[in-house]
Amino acid sequence: MTVCPGTGVTATARITAAPDGRGGTTLPDLVSDGPLALRRTRAHGRHAEVTLVGAMSAPLGGDRLSLVTTVRPHAVLHITTAAATVALPGRTADPAHYDTTHTVGDGAELRWLPEPLISAHGCDLRMTTRVHLAATARLVLREEQILGRTGETSGRLTTRLTVHRDGRPLLDQELSYGPGVPGWDSGAVLAGHRAVGQFLLVDPALEKRPAAPRLLGETAVLTPLSGPALLITAVAPDALQLRRALDDLSASALS
């Protein structure tokens, strides 16, 4: 971890998952850094499970945080977070950056299921998620953003999700909310909702059973991608209703 007065904290945490030779998954690298504390938690079956614990308030303005994950061929890794991540203003007007990069090998699986990100009033966060999948890799990903804590307006939040499969682009999506973003709260975007999330499934099995596009109620939609993948996007008035919707919709998709 590097602390630069007036510019924030720079920290990079790393996870490597590999087959243990006995049908399970081991973690040869589990490196925490700064506010990103990694804890191996109890898992059952083939997968290893890691929980990301916030060791200090972050991300704040000027922080540069990174999580780098490698899932080697035929390993199975599940990553969660212990609590919601709250993006806050810092001592500097510079935006905070929070980047995650996941590389998943052949026959491997990654489940990236963090708790929501809360964009507190006055914050400015740029968040990127990059995923590189081998041709036979499997990905289950959920992201949720809550725009403002109870009784406050949203901070500025820009998120970008980029997924490549077998070296080819599968999804590249950027979303922005909050002060200075034209029309983010209009009827064409969030229509007054304060919680937005998505569920992404990439699974070679979908090549034989592709999903069909459809509306999922009044505030959610399922979109098949140009590959064995589907994306569910939903908005809701608050975090609880968003999680319930994504849980129900993703359970249906996984079945």
pLDDT tens digits, one per residue of 87-132: 999 888 889 999 999 999 999 999 999 999 999 999 999 999 999 9
Nearest CA among 79, 116, 77 for reference residue 244: 116
Q: Strands 195-202 and 229-236, how do they pair? A: antiparallel
Q: Where are the domains of the chain?
A: 2-254
- pLDDT value of position 173: 96
- pLDDT value of position 188: 79
- pLDDT value of position 172: 97
What residues in the chain have per-residue pLDDT under 50?
Answer: none
CA dist., res. 228 & res. 215, Å (int): 19
- For residue 81, CA distances in Å to 58, 77, 138, 211 come to 14, 14, 20, 29
CA dist., res. 69 & res. 166, Å (int): 17
> Diameter of the chain by CA atoms?
54
Read off φ and ψ for residue 245, nearest 5 degrees. -65, -45
Nearest CA among 78, 81, 83, 82 for reference residue 45: 78
